[in-house]
Each structure stands twice: as structure tokens, then as C-alpha cells.
Copies of this chain bind each other. A is one copy, B any other.
């Protein structure tokens, strides 16, 4: 039931829109999450391993916005979920965007 109520879908590369990406990144909590994810590289991070100063439901909300915008990929692994940054897609679509934002996000 849970899985059906909240399917983990992702936009394809061609479906990613710059407005949604900017909106997703225009939040200090989401920017912090993306910055931590970028540090971890391509292996991804188990859900919860990146600490955020928010409640679990707020965290879920932020991760959904990032996923639906095409900024992160989330895959189930056992009972957990692993998040990865969609760096290849973002770098292909918007060369320099992610790097400039990550460099600025302090």
C-alpha cells in the first residue's frame, strides 16, 4: 500500500525543466542535502544518513521535490532508500549549473 501511495517515479532527462530544478535548489535545506550528496559521489546515500535539521515528514517532502524535479534519483534497497545526485543528467542539460551552485552553497 505504501509503495502504491507513493511511487518512486523520476522524470526522464528530456522531461527535466530548468524552472523546476531551480525551484528545487532554491531552498537551504534542499541545497544542504544536495551539497552533502555531491560530496559522497556516485555511490549514493542511504535515506537518513545525511542529517537534516527537520522532521521526517518534512525531509520526505524535500526529497520528493528534488526527485520530481530530476535533481536526485531514489532507489529502494531492502527497507531503505538510496539517494543519488543526477549529476550526469544535470551536467548534460545545464553545463556548469550544478558546479556553480555547489561552489556557492555555503
The complex is assembled from copies of this chain, and their number is 2
Residue pair B19, A27 in contact (C-beta under 8 Å): yes
For window 28-84 of A, CB contacts with B under 8 Å fall at 28, 31
For window 82-106 of A, CB contacts with B under 8 Å fall at 93-97, 99-101, 103-105
Q: Does A9 contact B (CB under 8 A)?
A: no
Partner of A101, one of B20, B22, B28, B104: B22
Residue pair B94, A101 in contact (C-beta under 8 Å): yes
Neighbouring B residues of A101 by C-beta, 8 Å: 18, 22, 94, 97
For window 11-27 of A, CB contacts with B under 8 Å fall at 18-20, 22-23, 25-27
Tell me the smallest distance from the CB of A26 to a CB of chain B, in Å. Answer: 4
Partner of A26, one of B23, B94, B95, B100: B23
Neighbouring B residues of A25 by C-beta, 8 Å: 22
